[in-house]
Chain A
Amino acid sequence: MDELLGEFITETNEFLETVDTQLVVFEADPTDGDTLNSIFRLVHTIKGTCGFLGLPRLQFVAHAGETLLGKFRDGTLVATPDQVQLVLESIDRIKEILAELEATGVEPEGDDSALIGALELAAEGHPAPSAAAPVEAAAPAPEPAPVAAAPAPEPAPVSASGLRWDPDLGRELRPGEVSLAELEAAFLAATPDDDLEPVAAAPAPAAANAEVTASAAPAVERRAAPEMRAIKDEDDDAAAKGGTVSSNQTIRVNVEVLETLMTMVSELVLTRNQLMQMVRNATDSEFKGPLQRLSAVTAELQDSVMKTRMQPIGSAWKKLPRIVRDAARDLNKKIDLVMDGEATELDRQVLELIKDPLTHMIRNSCDHGLEAPASRVAAGKSETGTIRLNAYHEGGHIVIEVSDDGAGLSTSRIRDKAIKNGLVSEEQAWTMSDAQIHRFIFAPGFSTAAAVTSISGRGVGMDVVRTNIELIGGTIDLQSTEGRGTKFFIKIPLTLAIVSALVVGSRQQRFAIPQLSIVELVGAGGASEHKVEILNSARVLRLRDRLLPLVDLSEVLGVPPRDPVIDESHSAFVVVMQHSGQLFGVVVDEVFDTEEIVVKPLSKALADVGTFSGATILGDGSVIMIIDPGAVYRRVGQAEEVVEEVVEAVQKKRGQRPETTSMIVFQAGGEQPKAVPLSLVTRLEELDATSFEQGDGRTLVQYRGELMPIVAADPYAPIATTGIQPVLVFTYNGLAAGMAVDKIVDIVEEALDIEMAADRPGLLGVAVIKGKATEVLDVSHYLNLALTNWDDPGVNKPAKHIVLVERNPFFRNLLSPLLRSAGYEVEAVETVSAALVCAEYRKPAAVLTDIDVDVASARRLLSDDRLAGTSIVALSGSPDADATGFASLVRKSDRESLIAAIEHAAKLEIAA
């Protein structure tokens, strides 16, 4: 590409960014003369250069835009939002053409007459139509000659439409256009002037009007010249006034030159290190003094070179005001963008990489974050929403905050969506804090937006943002209060060129692991307290209260691992790393040091290895490879998949899984696990034990505005008095009771095979859950303990009589207390015959019967006279069971529906 053209494109792109920002400022305050002047100057410069380079499309669009701006500037017109929009559209058109020009080197074909027509109409003072609207047919496609800058110098006779008629062109002159006759006259009057460029240098665009030959150009140039000077004077004025013009303070340097400088400095540092090593060995060297100076200068040089790569983050924000403005217009919202800390500097490479995620987040804030003006007012907020961007340094990192004062995240909607998408089980979702729930928006394909708009809501949003940020070693988090707004925190390294890394050894070779992905370093095996265990050939590390999947670094590298055994006699180092939210351990043979390393990219020949993110040169001159945490993570993931496959295969072998029950497994008083059916538990809570109070011989806690009694799950395990106490919350007749446990272990879905051993109060029996003997507790016993002498509102009501037919003792024991807790008097029997006998003595309000074991005999209940008019509710483990004829079908594990169905059935009885 022509060098001149290349420079023009670079410069113009920079100009355009500034124009965008300023136009938004201008729209907000159309009376701001300074802003308008600088916009006008920029567009004018673009136009002038285009004419010079022979880019007719660009020139005409810029010209039309400038004419309109000129009217604003001289006060003929006051800018309306529609007109500003029009100017923005013309700037966009210029950008489009420029992009094409940059890609191909030639100005693309295209028709701008509609846009130009609209701009001209606006300049004439007509109410501006959008450029998209049809423009009067008169606007001819081939544009007239390049008649430059100067607006017509004196008012000439005007036609009825306010425009001058030019007989040569056979049409009305456009605003700012000069008639051919005038040009001719000017040309004749013009004397050759040495100051001017040669005529031929201004190429006439190959447009329609051949009469306007190159001979017309000098006159135009000449006319333009004084104005150019005038504009230059304004520039000087601005500089004198302490404006933002500081062009002579900076120069443009090719990035490659900076990269070379960086390389050379690194080399210098290495050489210095070698020299220092040599001199250190010599006892008394005359080199010592000078070498020290060399050392200091080198360090300073390194700093300075690093600085040349730094750019203020504001340059990544330049496009944002325009984006917010456009979004606000499209969405009919009022949005203010406030930016702080624009001067915060970071490496230009990081800057480039952060631009897109930031843009995406700002769009998100505009679209989903901020509410429509009406709902804002309804919520008692000001009509205009605010998006705030803030950047600051924090310990070698830069933190960017993106906040809005909008509606905030809807915790319940995100929770529902997360459960629906299978990201989390319902039970787990209960125990999660709001902040944990909010983080689901970073999960792949997660979007709660009810509607997809042109701006956002396609569900590829925040996970892409997170991925991009993690790619450069950053992290993202958020804080949100429903109704108050959302605040995102992005933490990214200042530079990618220099990172802090841990140097480790594996199989006699050293590697660097970026410090950012390292959580901690632990010793395993040997005398260490951290034990490595093997689960079906997958190794895990027991670290404090969690299991970490382990992978040997040599496995990741694809070389045979050392001795894989890590036990009492074999110790190893484990680097605990975090990637994509997953913690895992990497086994290494040796750990050396942390070093600030200069990251160098890998050559293409090594690009397909995939294990490394780069290479670096250490102080001793040797090259070491930098491990890509993502590659290790993928390796760990593979190991996990293997485990999952094995589990699946085993399950398939076992054939159809029998009916299962969800159980919550916990520990209380000793190692042996205990369990209760999850369906009986209302909530899992972790309560602050210091808030527990004693009263009436019981432990009480204020819970959700009421006093809740707490009993210990094991009489020998006292309730905590400090720290966090995990509590299972049950509800009994609308009253809550808590069961204090030591630790909630798991929620499992298993086929229960209970061996009844109810020799101890509160114990239903023992079952094997996950291969371990587990005590299944009788919840009703604990509820009675907790709620004795409690004012039971149900006591005074005459209890309704219910018969439960259930052959399985577990369910019989499970459901009876449940029904009693709901205020019914329950007769639990094993067989249909027994139930019918019961009914002879006292007619029940409703009958609950299992239909899984023997549906045929259960149907006998339906036809028997003794139960005429009584609702029979079918109970099943499966929601698809055939329950024709029964009043309703309820799943045994579905506590809520069971109660509802019974209530409904009992009411029918009354009516009958």
Chain B
Amino acid sequence: MTALASRQESELALAKAGTKEFVTVHVADQLFGVEVTDIQDVFSLKGLTPVPGARPEIAGVLNLRGRIVTAIDARCRLGLPSRPQGFAGMMAVGVEYQGEAYGILVDSVGEVLRLSDSDFEPNPVNLNPNWKDVSQGVYRLDGRLLMTLNIDQLLCVATA
């Protein structure tokens, strides 16, 4: 009970402090951030099986510790050109959506950042609609911008 209580307290404190933790990922040249609480794990892509006839953003299926994970190509989903060298060497962010396991394929996974709400800005109005769908807004970092990625939004179109 005490451990739980203290955790709740610390979470409360965090919320008060107005910060959130993000895992940064690179898709093409853009920096994105996925909230830590959304992520189950991060793994490097091995043995992807394409699924003929599936929608283009579905890169295929893969085996993650005995579980079959549907891999979503973030580049395709965001309307970015696919990598010339294919999926080899890509990283995946493992998430759970409606009880099923999905992996979002990204170019690389960076670090965990704690970002303050004061640096947050809503999406610019001229943002590409593809991106508007999946992002709540932008964090201003030193010298670059981090787009937030909403996993539910990203996957809801993929599974619709």
Contact = CB atoms under 8 A, between A and B. Distances in A.
Interface in B61-87: 61-63, 65-68, 70, 72
Most buried by B among A270, A557, A559, A605: A605
Contacts, number: 74
Interface string A591-627: 0000000001011111011111001010001111100
Contacts of B54: 605-606, 609
B66 A603 contact: no
A267 B69 CA distance: 14
Interface stretch (B16-24, B26-34, B95-103, B122-130): B95-103
A76 to B, nearest CB: 55
B50 A617 contact: no
B88 interface: no
B66 A612 contact: no
A625 B100 contact: no
Contacts of B67: 263, 267
A603 B102 contact: yes
B40 interface: no
B70 A606 contact: yes
A623 B70 contact: no
Contact of B68 (A270, A509, A610, A623): A623
Contacts of B52: 509, 557-559, 609, 611
A199 interface: no
Contact of B72 (A605, A608, A612): A605
Given A264-B66, A605-B58, A605-B159, A611 B100 contact: no
Given A604-B98, A605-B155, A623 B53 contact: no
Interface in A364-415: none
A205 B53 CA distance: 59
B63 A622 contact: yes
B47 interface: yes
A615 B53 contact: no
Interface string B31-57: 000000000000000010111111100
Interface residues of A, number: 28
Nearest to A610: B53
A34 B51 CA distance: 59
A605 B158 contact: yes
B68 A615 contact: yes
A266 interface: yes
Interface residues of B, number: 25
Nearest to B48: A623
Contact of A624 (B49, B66, B159): B49
Contacts of A604: 98, 100, 159
B76 to A, nearest CB: 13
A612 B50 CA distance: 13
Nearest to A554: B52
A604 B159 CA distance: 6
A611 B53 contact: yes
A268 B65 CA distance: 9
Contact of A623 (B49, B55, B72, B159): B49
A254 to B, nearest CB: 14
Given A609-B53, A622-B49, A623-B49, A617 B66 contact: yes
Contacts of B63: 270, 617, 621-623
Given A509-B49, A557-B52, A557-B53, A266 B66 contact: yes
A619 B58 CA distance: 24
Contacts of A603: 68, 70, 100-102, 159
B50 A509 contact: yes
Contacts of B50: 509
Contacts of A612: 51
A623 B62 contact: yes
Nearest to A269: B66
Contacts of B61: 606, 615, 623, 625
Contacts of A605: 54-55, 58, 70, 72, 100, 102, 155, 158-159
B58 A606 contact: yes
Nearest to B54: A609
Nearest to B61: A623
Given A603-B102, A604-B159, A558 B53 contact: yes
A266 to B, nearest CB: 5
B51 A600 contact: no
Nearest to A625: B51
Interface string A485-513: 00000000000000000000000010000
A258 to B, nearest CB: 15
Interface centre among B51, B55, B62, B65 (most CB of A within 10 A): B51
Contacts of B53: 557-558, 609-611
A508 to B, nearest CB: 10
A267 B65 contact: yes
Interface string B147-159: 0000000010011
A259 to B, nearest CB: 11
A621 B65 CA distance: 9
Contacts of A267: 65-67
Interface string A252-272: 000000000001101110100
Chain A CB within 10 A, most for which of B49, B50, B62, B66: B66
A609 B70 CA distance: 13
A596 to B, nearest CB: 16
A605 B68 CA distance: 13
Given A603-B70, A603-B101, A603-B102, A625 B65 contact: no
A604 B157 CA distance: 11
B77 to A, nearest CB: 11
Contact of A622 (B47, B58, B72): B47
A256 to B, nearest CB: 10
Interface in B87-142: 98, 100-102
A189 B49 CA distance: 78
Given A609-B51, A617-B68, 13 more contacts: A267-B65, A602-B70, A603-B101, A604-B100, A605-B55, A605-B70, A605-B72, A606-B58, A609-B53, A609-B54, A610-B53, A623-B63, A625-B49
Interface of B: 47, 49-55, 58, 61-63, 65-68, 70, 72, 98, 100-102, 155, 158-159
11 contacts: A263-B66, A270-B63, A509-B49, A557-B52, A602-B70, A605-B70, A606-B54, A610-B53, A615-B49, A615-B61, A623-B68
Task: Identify the 9 closest CB pairs spanning chains A and B, nearest first.
Answer: A267-B66, A557-B52, A603-B70, A603-B100, A604-B159, A605-B159, A623-B49, A609-B53, A558-B53
Interface of A: 263-264, 266-268, 270, 509, 557-559, 600, 602-606, 608-612, 615, 617, 621-625
